[in-house]
Structure 1
Amino acid sequence: MVVDDSVVIRGMISRWIASEPDMVVAASLRTGLEAVNQIDRVNPDVAVLDIEMPELDGIAALPKLLAKKKNLAVIMASTLTRRNAEISFKALSLGAADYIPKPESTREASAADNFHFDLIQKIRTLGAKARRTAPVPHAPAAPHVQELRPAPALRPAVAHAPTPAVSAQIARRSFSSQMPKVLLIGSSTGGPQALMSVVTELGPVIDRFPVLITQHMPPTFTTILAEHLARSSRRPAHEAIDGEVVKPGQIYLAPGGRHMRVARHGAEVVIALDNGPPVNFCKPAVDPLFTSAVDVWQGSTLAVILTGMGSDGMRGGKDIVAAGGSVIAQDEATSVVWGMPGAAANAGICAAILPLNQIAPKLVRLFAGDRS
């Protein structure tokens, strides 16, 4: 279901969806009110929901749509402004599955192409999960919250999802015998909520060790995410700056549109931002951070891969493990999308595959000296 008051955008997205062999446009609507009134009839798996619309805007329509169909995967779409980014974060708290920035102008070929690719991938991945999820009748509307909050063990948007156990066939490695000196985290779809949940309990780790995070996210969004991370952790958090020294007590977030790496500069470790091409179709990407950390911290590197589409982080995770470090993945049941953590788990590089609410306590123990 495509919901956008712009006939141009609505038509463009509908054509893209209709051209995919595994997708059908359930409805193309102009307002959030139309979407709420028609959702029972059209019964979509995914809704692409604009933020600014007449009669009922996207943020007001979202809880009403989820009240009628709890397993609906909602992708918020908006132009890239600070206000819309803030609203998109709020939408994640209300149960939206993901967000996507619309290009400022559809006449910019590269921007339109990126938007096209990203949107179709999100629809396909989230739609497949929605179709596997049995609807819960008479589901209550998601609670109204004013800012992005830490997620519970299961995000509201997927709390009803089945909870498959991690296969016993997936190999686990032992944790590194070396004490970790840094915490790296990679995440994508569902990541903002998962990150809030983890950093809320990470105070003892952040106080003594640097924490570096790459979340697949465009500019402006990363600025706001850093602010949310600072509030949730009650520790300093900011978008990383090229050349700054990496210190304990800080959370460094890869800025949107730049890869974040680390490098030795004499006796110090510094941030190295990179404006190179996308890696794994992402910029920033997780693999560059993970791989560069091996050159700095070798086997004292501990990485966590949270919910997200694709396989970013898996190759970098292999490098970390080969150097003697450790990788933890979020489990399938608590992931919005078990792409990135699933790729790492199935590659056999993880020392643990944990539900979201067990990750922070485990990290605190590991950084305190527990090696099991």
Structure 2
Amino acid sequence: MGKPVRVLIVDDSALIRQLLSTLLASDPEIEVVGTAGDPYIARERIKTLNPDVVTLDIEMPNMDGITFLRKIMTLRPMPVLMISTLTQAGADVTLEALEIGAVDFIAKPSHDAANAMPALAAELQAKVKAAARTRVGARPGMIANAAAPKRVRTVRARDKIVAIGASTGGVEALKVVLMNLPAECPPILVTQHMPPRFTAAFAQRLNRECAMKVSEAVHNDVIEAGHVYIAPGSHHLEIVKHGMEFRCSLNDGPPMTGHRPSVDVLFRSMARVVGRSAIGVILTGMGKDGAEGMLEMRNAGAKTIGQDEASSLIYGMPHVAFERGGVMRQCSLVNVADAILDACEGEADATRPHRAAQAG
């Protein structure tokens, strides 16, 4: 085992500081090197303790978490995990934090959620260790350059449907991709790992910035060109066909690969229902959700695209999908939108052998 991940916990609540410390201390690969009750104390402890990761409460006295995060990303970029309340206001501020440069977020534990503590500990530990592996310093510039306005291509294809899956780092990655697609693009279904309320706020933010219309998916929505449908945080999103129409189908079935919504659930429905007319895209994220579903899409004749390691905040989901043979074309985040349009025009040729075919 290598050196443990050194964590500084910043929260104005002594109870939350103690709880987070206890949850993290149960993992031998993590060391809580200090805590701070406000950003001014945190600033000094960052200098003296040199942590690998900071957990940061959004709502604090003296200086709010967003202001402090801006200072961190300007003066000493480092992995920051936001601790957020699961409210509409919390969702809006957390999405702003991710835009500024926070790696990820986790829901603030409630004082009476004893039954949820094992799952919370596992999630917190996994996200802290993933955050420690990220390349935060180069990220804000990459995102800003990728999202900068440029000439948007037109697209003629009308029979394609696109499905995109993402997790950690996906909020900003999706923004980059969708801002560079034209208004007349084929319909896009998106599963991004997020809790309820956050997906609605995310869709609203994207709708203000993208040429396509973006909304949270509603059960039985007719799927139309020029529209992006975001899976709600509490439900799996699938595509179904009614007569000549494709529609969104939502269900609250059990989590798949640990997630609801699950990318695998979306991708498998695309393989079953859309087949050769589907385009699958897997972006940055921790874990393996979407890898099996993407392979099923490719086997059904779909074009498939994966984000490359250099541009991924967390090269987990796209890496597993690539290794299992589901990804036909790998590219940098800045080129994903063009890769989607290439696939719409039938130009997405495979750039590597099909691993499943090799096995035979």
- Please indicate the TM-score interval, normalised by the length of the shorter structure: 0.7 to 0.9
Deviation at 1:326, TM superposition (A): 2.0
1:365 aligns with 2:358: no
1:339 aligns with 2:332: no
Cα RMSD for the two superposed structures: 2.3
3-state secondary structure, aligned to 1:192: helix
- Mapped to 1, the partners of 2:116 and 2:35 lie a distance apart of 23
Matches within 5 A, 1:197-346: 197-203=176-182, 207-346=184-323
Aligned residue pairs total 333
Deviation at 1:369, TM superposition (A): 3.6
| Partner residue in 2 for 1:119 | 124
| Partner residue in 2 for 1:170 | none
Task: Kindly provide the CA deviation profile for residues 228-283 of structure 1, in whole angstroms up to 9, marking residues without a partner as x.
Answer: 22122222111111112112121100001111011122222221111112111111
Deviation at 1:129, TM superposition (A): 3.8
Deviation at 1:153, TM superposition (A): 4.2
Deviation at 1:365, TM superposition (A): 2.5
Matches within 5 A, 1:123-142: 123-129=128-134
- Mapped to 1, the partners of 2:144 and 2:168 lie a distance apart of 14
Letter in 2 for 1:192: V
2:106 paired residue among 87, 100, 105: 100
Deviation at 1:151, TM superposition (A): 4.2
Q: Of the two structures, which has the highest relative contact order with CA contacts closer than 8 Å and spacing of 6 or more?
A: 1
- Mapped to 2, the partners of 1:111 and 1:248 lie a distance apart of 41
Deviation at 1:86, TM superposition (A): 1.2
Q: Identity over the aligned pairs, expressed in percent?
A: 37
TM-score (norm 2): 0.87
Deviation at 1:335, TM superposition (A): 0.6
2:50 paired residue among 32, 35, 43: 43
Is the alpha carbon distance of 1:151 and 1:182 closer, same or farther for their aligned partners in structure 2, counting shifts above 3 Å? farther
- Mapped to 2, the partners of 1:194 and 1:371 lie a distance apart of 20
Q: Which runs of 5+ in 1 are unaligned?
A: 137-141, 144-148, 156-177
Contact 1:154 1:356 in 2 (8 A): no
Is the alpha carbon distance of 1:332 and 1:150 closer, same or farther for their aligned partners in structure 2, counting shifts above 3 Å? closer
Moved more, 105-114 or 216-225: 105-114
- Mapped to 2, the partners of 1:301 and 1:349 lie a distance apart of 13
Deviation at 1:180, TM superposition (A): 6.3
Task: Kindly provide the CA deviation profile for residues 294-330 of structure 1, in whole angstroms up to 9, marking residues without a partner as x.
Answer: 1211122110100010011101001101111121110
3-state secondary structure, aligned to 2:313: coil
Task: Kindly provide the CA deviation profile for residues 179-203 of structure 1, in whole angstroms up to 9, marking residues without a partner as x.
Answer: 9611110001110111111011111
2:20 paired residue among 13, 17, 28: 13
- Mapped to 1, the partners of 2:159 and 2:49 lie a distance apart of 52
Letter in 1 for 2:99: S
| Partner residue in 1 for 2:145 | 152
| Partner residue in 1 for 2:160 | 181
Is the alpha carbon distance of 1:202 and 1:110 closer, same or farther for their aligned partners in structure 2, counting shifts above 3 Å? farther
Is the alpha carbon distance of 1:152 and 1:308 closer, same or farther for their aligned partners in structure 2, counting shifts above 3 Å? farther
Deviation at 1:41, TM superposition (A): 0.4
Is the alpha carbon distance of 1:365 and 1:129 closer, same or farther for their aligned partners in structure 2, counting shifts above 3 Å? closer
Letter in 1 for 2:79: A
Is the alpha carbon distance of 1:45 and 1:371 closer, same or farther for their aligned partners in structure 2, counting shifts above 3 Å? closer
- Mapped to 1, the partners of 2:309 and 2:167 lie a distance apart of 14
